[in-house]
Structures are given as C-alpha cells and as structure tokens.
Structure 1
Amino acid sequence: MRYILGISCYYHDSAACVLRDGVIVAAAQQERFSRLKHDAGFPADAIRYCLREAGIDLSELSAVVFYDKPLLKFERLLETYLAHAPRGFRSFLMAMPVWLKEKLYLKTLLRRELRALAGLDRKAPLPKLLFSQHHQAHAASAFYASPYQEAAVICLDGVGEWATSTIWHGQGNQLRPLAELHFPHSLGLLYSAFTYYCGFKVNSGEYKLMGLAPYGEPKYVELIYRELISVREDGSFALNMRYFAYPVGSRMINQRFAALFGAPPLTADAEPGQLYLDLAASIQQVTEEIVLKIARHAQQLTGASKLCLAGGVALNCVANGRLLREGPFQELWIQPAAGDAGGALGAALLAWYQYFQQPRHSDEQQDQMQGSYLGPAYSDSEIQALLQAEQAPYQYLSEPQLYSEVARLLAAGKVVGWFQGRMEFGPRALGNRSILGDARSPVMQSILNLKIKQRESFRPFAPAVLAEDLQQYFQLNCPSPYMLLVARLAAELQLEVAPGLSGLARLAQQRSSLPAITHIDYSARVQTVSADTNLRFYQLLQHFKAQTGTSVLINTSFNVRGEPPVCSPADALQGFYATDMDVLVLGNCLLHKADQPALKLQAARQRVFAAD
C-alpha cells in the first residue's frame, strides 16, 4: 500500500489529508483541534489525527506533499515590493525577516516540524517531500475528487504564488493548464476589498458580504466597471490598482477607494447603512458576471460538458447557483473544501495521479469525498465517559426512539445541537457538527442568530432537505450535498410582502412558509441529505417529516461566535453550556439544558464572554 500525506499551512486554514492507494482516508483542518479560528500554523494535530485514522506512522508514508511553492511566492513578494518602492517599506521590513528565517527555507522547516511531531532526532530519515503549485493543488482537489473523467476546471481565489485565476482541462489522470491571470489582478481580492470596506474581516467575512447583498440594490455596478476593473469578453480582467493598497500595504484599499464611494470603511460590528448594502449587491453582481464569462471561455477552450470549481471564490454559492442556471455546462461539481484547507487534499491527489502516475477510476455518479465526512468520530462509550466525568445528566436513547424524540423537540421549537459520526472537512456543517432548528418557525432565524450563534441579525440560515423531496421545496434540479448552491424557494411556498420597507428593515417580513431559511430574495443555500452519505441525519429528517409533514430543517455549524466548529464531544458540551441551546445530542445521548448544573453553565458563558 502507498500512503500520501498532503499539507497546507502558513497562510490561513491549515489542514492535512492522508490517502491510501489514492483513496481519501482522513482530512481535517488544524483549527478544529487548536480551537483557533482559521489557524494558519503547522497542522500537527490534524496530521496526528490523519495518521492515526490510517493506522500508520510517519515512516510508512510514501510522500509528504505541500500545497505551495515558497520560492515562487517569495519571487512574487519581492518583485511586488520592488515595483512599488519606496511605498510599502514598513510592510517589507515586517515580512522579510519571517521569510528569510523560515518561509524561504520551507523544506527545512517542514522537516523539522515533521520530526518533532514524530519524536525523531534531526538526522532521522523522512518520507519524500514534494511541492505542488497553489492553483495546481486547487485544480487537483476539484477534478480528481469529482466523479468526472473529463471536465473543465476553474480555480478562483485571492492569490497563490502568482496565479489568481486559472483554467484547466482534466482528462483521466491528467490536468493541463490552459489560461491564468496573475497578481495583483484578482477577483478574490477585489471581493475581499469590498468585504473590508463593508466592515467585515478579510479571509473570513466574505460570506457575510454575500449574505448582505440581497438587502441592497446593485447601483454601483457601472461605477465598479468604469473605475475599478476592466473585463474582457473571455472573462480576463485587470484591476485599476490606483484604488487598492493590498500589494504592499496592511490594508485592502486606499483613500481613493473610499473617496470613490463617498464614505469611510465601515467599522467592525457597525450596522451597515444603505450605501454598504448597495455596494454588497453591486460587487456580488459584478463577481457573478465575471464568473459566467470565465466559465463560457473555459467551455470554449475545453469543449467539456462538465465543470469543476475550487478556490475561495468557489464558496460563493450565489454565483455557483447562477452558473448552474445560466452557464454553458450541463453539470457542475464544487470541491466542498474549496479554500486553502482543500489544498492539502489537492496536493496529495496530485502526487498520486501525476508524480506516481496512477490510473484514475471515477464513478461518474459519485464523487470521492465520502460526503466530506473525513474527520474524527467518537464512540458512544467515549461520549458517556465524558458526560459521567462532567456529571452532566443525560438520557441514552436507542434508535429509532432517538430520532422520534429529537424530531418532537424540534417541532416544539427547541434548538438542538446535533453531534454525530465523523466531522466534516471544509467550512460547512453537513449534519454531523450541526445546530438544528425548525425551518417553519417565524422566530427561529433571530433566535439562532442572536442567542445561539451570537452573530449579525441579517445572516440567513441554510436548509437541509431530504434529497428525494428537493423539488417540492426548491427550484433546483440537481443534488446539492455540500451546501454550495443557492436556489429560490418553490413558487407555491413564497408569500407576498408589503412594499415600502428597505434595507435591513426588510428582515422582519415573512416571505415563505419556511421563513427561518428564506432569505429576503426568496433564496436559500440548500443541502440535500441522502441515506447513502449520512444515514442518521437522513433518518432524523424522515422522522421530522412524519411528525410535521415537512422534510426541511435549519442546519448551521455547531460553534459560537469567534470559534471554529466543534470537533470533540467536549467542545460540543462547552458550546452547549455557553449558549441558549435547548438540547444537545451526542451520538445516542440526549441532554436537556434545564437538567444541567448551573455552575457549569455559568463558567462556560464566562469563558466565551472573556474570549470575545
């Protein structure tokens, strides 16, 4: 057997993945273990987990593959500073010591970290160390994990080494690059500039900007095209760098950008006014239009009928939904860990198919991601040992009693933490590390946002629906197992709203018979649930349907503000204690908040408050 370890780290969302003879054994982000959101450090804990899941130690690996080429990235950094000198000198002085001491000698650094992880001395032999290019890893994560033998592949993100946008042609075990755009011209960084301007954190708040967009009107589309970006028919583009500071600065934009729109950047946590709502709508429309142009060009270059997507921009599920509806491809597959975490998976797959020249056997019906349930799982005995040690009162329910009781609690308006099986790989909760609620409730959206997730009130929640009932509720004609497509609700579920309200005031209007998952443009980010990939979540939805006639639940990630989604039962228990969640289900163990010790609840809330 041949084992390959893929690693991504030192930028954001560090992760690790292990393949056994080309099959994904395990993959996880470091943040889930360290509890540091978007942890960029060496993913020691994630690597330990992946090796443990594979049942091997470091010496049994055939190769370790890193998702980036540091010398190329250093070349880009140095050339950029020289091109802008003397501007950015302070940033240069901050960046160079780190690069000259560590990042430039990444091979040495990685070997040192791997030896430390395995408890080896500095002369001990290590597996072969390989490096992929950043976008090459993205493309590999998209194509090789997809069910397709041939497809066009598009990767769009902030920046890798030089590339920011690439088109590839995947055939069998080969990935051929066809076109690319280089830094500083980046669709991801353009979107991040507006993310920053609207008061959200870059590299983590882009999905907030996407959720904000429907509250505004795209009034500034023409201004963006006229002043900020020039776009050609093939989707290639150039940014007007007079408005941006990110190449050598610590901020995304400069004063010209703010002057263009007549207001300063919004401060963090400030409620966005109409200007910022309209700008969110405008940059979202521009992004969608550019993605559509790139897709049409990719189809012309490849002649392929299928498309694979990866890179951070591929997490823009509104653009994905429009691409599915209006684009030139018959089928679309998006890597569920589309961001940098997925680079670990892509690097490992690239080594298997190209370095080791292995043939590819794809299904054309099912992808290789196993539902993206690739993280650690915990047995009922482990869970019960924790609960007994914590003196946390619980009931142990066998199946199907567990599903029936949880469905009853959900139908009664309870908020349920649902912890089952293997943890998801990627940013989405897909029914194993989830908070669930009744989508029919007109108050559940605000309860979850303010009391449980402790986040902005305007943020929409995603629905999970039985796969066979999809078209009963949503205008979508293909599965969406990874919650990466936005679709409108079925017309018969939509309700008319009174005219006259604008901006965030529109949030109070009920727009459908499933108000808790209906965004103000009648859309929802859909997850389809099938028995093949998540039998327990599927059975819960079946029981909820039997009791209520509705097979849709709110599904949002199990975390509180400022923290990554939970990994272990201990993480889940602390999250349960720290919020107004009513019920926690750990495997077959059911806990009611009202039964828990008051001192435990108080201590957990104080911890979260202090961290915030």
Structure 2
Amino acid sequence: MRILGISAFYHDSAAALVVDGDIVAAAQEERFTRKKHDAGFPHHAAAFCLEAGGCDMAGIDHVVFYDKPFLKFERLLETYLATAPRGFRSFRMALPVWIREKLFQKGLLRERLRRIAGGEAWNGSLLFTEHHQSHAASAFFPSPFERAAVLTMDGVGEWCTTSLGVGHGSRLEITKEIHFPHSLGLLYSAFTYYTGFKVNSGEYKVMGLAPYGEPRFAGLIKDHLIDVKDDGSFRLDLSYFDYCTGLTMTNGRFDALMGGPPRKPEDRLGQREMDLAASVQAVTEEVVLKLARGIARSTGERNLCLAGGVALNCVANGRLLREGVFENIWIQPAAGDAGGALGAALAACHGIAGQPRAPRHGQRDLMKGAYLGPEFEQERIEAGLAAAGARFETLPEQQLIDATAEALADGKAVGWMQGRMEFGPRALGGRSILGDPRSPTMQKVLNLKVKYRESFRPFAPSVLREDVAEWFELDGDSPYMLLVADIAEKRRRQMTAQQQALFGIDKLNVARSEIPAVTHVDYSARIQTVHADTNPRYHALLSAFKARTGCPVLVNTSFNVRGEPIVCSPADAFRCFMGTGIERLVVGNCFLRKEDQDPALVQDYKDRFELD
C-alpha cells in the first residue's frame, strides 16, 4: 500500500511516501523552490517522493493531509468571538485567506494533486489527520521501541498545543491534551519575537544565545506569564500576550514587565537579550522535565518519543536525557511541521489501513539516518557542475576522502554534498559545510565569512559513534543532532580568572577545549554521532581525519547561507560555493578548489536571501 503524506499552507511544506510501512522518501518543498520555509503546496517534493517510489499518482492508494482545516477555522472563529472586538484587525486580515484558500482545502488539494504526473488517474482518496496526531505518529512509529510514551509540543495545531499519548506495536492513542491559547511553543516564540528574531525561524537563535546570559527573568516568567503544575500542565496569563488578537506576539504589558520595548531585528544584541534568552530556556526546560516526569508516573513507560517544534530544543532534550526520567529517548529528526507529512502518512498506514509496523532488522530506527531526500548519480553531478561552468577533477573514493581530510586538517572550509539529502532542519553529512574543530578561529570564520550570520551562533560537532564517549559526556546514539551534552572533562581547557570574569558575547573568543570551534560558552555541544551503516562515506571521512589529526570530530553546519534553504542539487552547491568563503567543494566524486574556478562566476551571495 502506497500512502503519500502532505503538509502545506502554514510553513515548512513537505511530502513523504510510505510503502507498506516502509519510509521510502521525504523532503521539504523549500529545498526545490529555494524559498526558505516555503508554505506552498509541495508539488516538487511530492513529485520527488513518487519518483523515488517508482510510481506516479495513479499508484497512490491514499493521500493524507497533516491537519484538519475546519478545526483550525473553528479555533480562529472562537478566538475572535471570545476576544471581540480587540482582535478584529487580525481577524479581518486572516478571513479572506481562509475563505479563498484554506477553508475549502479539500478541493484545493485535489486540484493540486491532479496536476502531478498520473494525477488524472488517481483514485481520489484524500484523508485528514489531526495536527498532533501527525506529530505523535511521526515520533512513535519510526522509533526503535515496541512501546513508549509519546509527547508532542509545538505552537498550536488545530486546538492542541501539547499532547500525551502511548504507543504499543501498531497502535497509538492520544490520552491527554493542552489546548490553545496555552502553549509552550508560543511562549518561546513570544521571547523569540521580543528579542528581535523571526517567529517560526529564529527560535534556535534564542536557544544558542541563552548560554551567554543569566536566567534573571525566570522568576518573573513563572510569577506572571506561566503557571506550571507538578505534572507539567500549564496555563499562560494571556493579558501579557497579543497573539490571540493582534499582529504581534507580545503587548505593552509584557514590555513593562520585562523593562522595555522589543529589540528591533538586526539591532546590536545586549546583555538583556542574552538574559531573556537564558530565562525562557530555563523555564522551558523546567516545563519539559515536569511534563516528562508526569508522563512517566501516569504511564509507567520506560521509553519516550518526542516530536513537535519544541522537540527541536536539543538543550532541553539533553537535560531530559541526563535527568534519567526515561531509560531511552527518541526524537523525530523532522520534529516540526515538515515532519507532519511523514506522521500523517504513518498514522493512516497503521491507524486507518491497519498495517503492521515494518521490521527493524537490527536498525536503530526506521528513519534511515534521515537520508530520505534526492540523490544524484555521478553522471548527473558532472553534467550539472559542467553546465554551471565549474572546474573540477573526478577522484576515486579513497583519494577523494584523503584529499578532503587533508583540506580540513589544513584549516579549509569544505562544502560536502553526498548521497541523499536529509529530511528535517539539520545537515547530517549529506548537505554539510565542514571544518576543523581544533581551530580557535573556525567558528568566527564560518559564521561571518561563510554563513553570513550572527557571530554568537554555535556549531555542532560530528563525531564517530565509537569515539563519542572519549570526547563528550555522552555514551549513546545521537544521530540526528538533537541532544546537547558537555565536552568531556579531560578535553576541556582551564580558564583564567580574568576569562571567567567575562560577560556576554565577550566569552565567545575564549578557547574552552581541544575542539573550541564546537564548544559553546557553557562547555556544551549539540552532538551528531556518525554511524558507518547509515552514512559510510561521511564515517570514512571522519576516520581519515582522525588518522591524520588524532581527532574523530568535525565541525558540521548546514550547506547554505543565512536565509537560504539547505542546498539540494549540484548546481545549488556550486552557487553557494562561489558566493561564500568555502574553499573546497566535494560533490559525489568531484573535487573542486576555489582558486581553480573562473573569477567571473563569483557571486555576491551575502544579500541574496531574506534574513531569517
């Protein structure tokens, strides 16, 4: 049975194909259209998934949409009626879009689906799952567990903002929910807005900024903004927020509580913003821990699965793991709305069609390392690069690995495009920019000259799975870069009294370990363990780098600049290479040096994309 899952019309549209319980393909639309967080119908992503599955729309048994539009419209109407007339301006702006596009989404979806190859012969079976059911299905069904508690947390779906469920075999039941307007995700987004970042895009910046600050506003948040019970259930005081009735997240009362107006985007970051970030991060971690403890008590389960946008908060995930509330934790790598497409397909596969879960055959999970997107054969890579005017040499695999490891050991920034593209927001060695973590200047160089982004942003380490415990305070799998752990004590460098007295962004230039480029100011790192079975070429590169340097770790950041979607094709990779400070590009077996390229192809890439 072939089931196509679709998420669309809010942000991060995506498509996923599940065949007899096996996850065949999944991709975000933004990777094809080159429009960050593209919310349009995922025509390109769906067409790719069908091609990967060897079929067209005529071969699809069911299409499943990731939420229920009528329930969302019900929330819009009820929220307006409950707050009228204050929310009229917001309601007036939203209503025409709903009437024109969203309210009658079934017809719109059918029309768009029939435009895809084979659509005229499609059987027309179109199903809808609830938003948090999609998230929960994406968390449990691909997980390695036969049974588990399931926790989903985000901004809002239809009504639900937080859900608790229990999965067993091919069954998944949602047992408890917290409803809009009370939302942990929206609380975090309110601080994202207030600190000057873009909602639904900049939340990870708040997380990265938090270690530079002190949580001096945490008491204010708990005293005035959120009431948290022992089991993690919570309510917000809506008099401080404007997301129900206005066009901003917070209001004047919030400003007065926090001591001033919101920071304007791109204004200089101060200690206040760092302290605000630290505070909302601390409160978020407290709520997540209480929710997890409550779920553990009520279900008796030993395993926990997570999804929803809040599950991308890898600092909270790492703390949850360290606290030992559950024996095992598994997080859906595409935890946000894009992953809803996969969850919708899986929910229909197991919950509606009644199919059993696919066997694991010793695999850690069914996500295939999250390498579920397009891949390009060597012939297509060479043709694409040649058409773009690139000058390259084609090398045998071992020679390619050796040349790349040597470039990295020499301190060069390397664009690395291999195999299938990752599904989800993280680059995992399929579409990555790599660097030497031992370099004390690599973080600043990559941020300012390659990524064109804020200097405070941390970079993640990729580490050989077999060496992770030697370098980090983690002895387990973290294949999807969704767990934060500290640098191992023996790898740290002692700070002087003068260095320890530094505040805020001044902490950035202090080398804190043997791998300073991936060591955050609090000695933490967002870890990706690399496994030979899911990404053998990336594993081989790390092994070659270790043989040269004694270090089994690389800096790994997504292959894009600020505001750009992660690259998808060889042409995307070459454009980014020629528009940034990347010095080497490796695509398939093609090896490119920046100095060999035609200077006329250099692009002004810095201002090409809208800032995120």
Q: Quickly name the TM-score band, shorter chain normalised.
A: over 0.9
Alpha-carbon distance, 1:119 to partner: 7.1
- Aligned residue runs from structure 1 range 123-134, under 5 A: 126-134=123-131
8 A Cα contact 2:56 2:119, kept in partner = no
Alpha-carbon distance, 1:231 to partner: 0.5
- Aligned residue runs from structure 1 range 91-240, under 5 A: 91-118=90-117, 126-240=123-237
- The answer to which of 62-71 and 357-366 deviates more is 357-366
8 A Cα contact 1:14 1:340, kept in partner = yes
Match of 1:488 in 2: 486
- Aligned residue runs from structure 1 range 160-559, under 5 A: 160-363=157-360, 366-497=364-495, 498-559=499-560
8 A Cα contact 1:473 1:489, kept in partner = yes
Match of 1:595 in 2: 596
8 A Cα contact 1:58 1:127, kept in partner = no
Moved over 6 A (4+): none
8 A Cα contact 2:452 2:606, kept in partner = no
Alpha-carbon distance, 1:611 to partner: 6.0
- Report the Cα distance in structure 2 between the residues aligned to 1:322 and 1:391, rounded to whole angstroms: 48
Match of 1:583 in 2: 584
SS of the equivalent of 2:103 reads helix
- Listed one character per residue, the Cα deviations across residues 420-454 of structure 1 (whole Å, up to 9, x for unaligned) are 00000000000010000000000000000000000
- Report the Cα distance in structure 2 between the residues aligned to 1:587 and 1:125, rounded to whole angstroms: 36
Alpha-carbon distance, 1:366 to partner: 1.7
- The answer to which of 301-310 and 97-106 deviates more is 97-106
- Report the Cα distance in structure 2 between the residues aligned to 1:607 and 1:198, rounded to whole angstroms: 23
Q: Name the CA shift for 1:125/1:590 in 2 (closer, same or farther; >3 Å).
A: closer
SS of the equivalent of 2:235 reads strand
SS of the equivalent of 2:232 reads coil
- Report the Cα distance in structure 1 between the residues aligned to 2:359 and 2:233, rounded to whole angstroms: 31
- Listed one character per residue, the Cα deviations across residues 205-228 of structure 1 (whole Å, up to 9, x for unaligned) are 000000000000111111111010
Q: Which residue identity is paired with 1:360? A: R
SS of the equivalent of 1:118 reads coil
8 A Cα contact 2:491 2:514, kept in partner = yes
User: Are 1:55 and 2:57 counterparts?
Assistant: no
- Report the Cα distance in structure 1 between the residues aligned to 2:173 and 2:601, rounded to whole angstroms: 56
- Report the Cα distance in structure 2 between the residues aligned to 1:607 and 1:416, rounded to whole angstroms: 18
- Report the Cα distance in structure 2 between the residues aligned to 1:12 and 1:131, rounded to whole angstroms: 18
- Listed one character per residue, the Cα deviations across residues 448-505 of structure 1 (whole Å, up to 9, x for unaligned) are 0000000000000000000000000000121100000000000011112222210111
Q: What is the TM-score when the length of structure 2 is the normalising length?
A: 0.98
Number of paired residues?
607
User: Are 1:25 and 2:61 counterparts?
Assistant: no
Q: Which runs of 5+ in 1 are unaligned?
A: none
- Report the Cα distance in structure 1 between the residues aligned to 2:322 and 2:524, rounded to whole angstroms: 14
Alpha-carbon distance, 1:259 to partner: 0.8
Q: Name the CA shift for 1:3/1:610 in 2 (closer, same or farther; >3 Å).
A: closer
Match of 1:70 in 2: 69
Alpha-carbon distance, 1:570 to partner: 0.4
Q: Which residue identity is paired with 1:35? A: R
- Report the Cα distance in structure 1 between the residues aligned to 2:607 and 2:396, rounded to whole angstroms: 33
- Report the Cα distance in structure 1 between the residues aligned to 2:383 and 2:523, rounded to whole angstroms: 45
- Listed one character per residue, the Cα deviations across residues 577-604 of structure 1 (whole Å, up to 9, x for unaligned) are 0001100001010000011111101xx2
- Report the Cα distance in structure 2 between the residues aligned to 1:209 and 1:327, rounded to whole angstroms: 25
Q: Which residue identity is paired with 1:23? A: D
SS of the equivalent of 1:400 reads helix
8 A Cα contact 1:493 1:512, kept in partner = yes
Q: Name the CA shift for 1:529/1:3 in 2 (closer, same or farther; >3 Å).
A: same
Q: Name the CA shift for 1:309/1:610 in 2 (closer, same or farther; >3 Å).
A: closer
Alpha-carbon distance, 1:399 to partner: 1.7
Identity of aligned residues (%): 60
8 A Cα contact 1:295 1:327, kept in partner = no
Alpha-carbon distance, 1:362 to partner: 4.7
SS of the equivalent of 2:500 reads coil
Q: Which residue identity is paired with 2:336? A: G
SS of the equivalent of 2:114 reads helix
- Report the Cα distance in structure 2 between the residues aligned to 1:244 and 1:569, rounded to whole angstroms: 45
Alpha-carbon distance, 1:162 to partner: 0.2
- The answer to which of 245-254 and 444-453 deviates more is 245-254
- Listed one character per residue, the Cα deviations across residues 107-151 of structure 1 (whole Å, up to 9, x for unaligned) are 111001111233756xx6533100000000000000001011100
Alpha-carbon distance, 1:318 to partner: 0.2
8 A Cα contact 1:111 1:126, kept in partner = no
SS of the equivalent of 1:64 reads strand
8 A Cα contact 2:411 2:436, kept in partner = yes
- Report the Cα distance in structure 1 between the residues aligned to 2:324 and 2:166, rounded to whole angstroms: 17
Alpha-carbon distance, 1:80 to partner: 0.2
- Report the Cα distance in structure 2 between the residues aligned to 1:276 and 1:120, rounded to whole angstroms: 50
8 A Cα contact 1:149 1:362, kept in partner = no
Alpha-carbon distance, 1:367 to partner: 0.5
Alpha-carbon distance, 1:248 to partner: 2.2
Alpha-carbon distance, 1:101 to partner: 2.2
Alpha-carbon distance, 1:607 to partner: 8.1
Q: What is the TM-score when the length of structure 1 is the normalising length?
A: 0.98
- The answer to which of 354-363 and 564-573 deviates more is 354-363
Alpha-carbon distance, 1:274 to partner: 1.2
8 A Cα contact 2:20 2:358, kept in partner = no
8 A Cα contact 1:243 1:256, kept in partner = yes
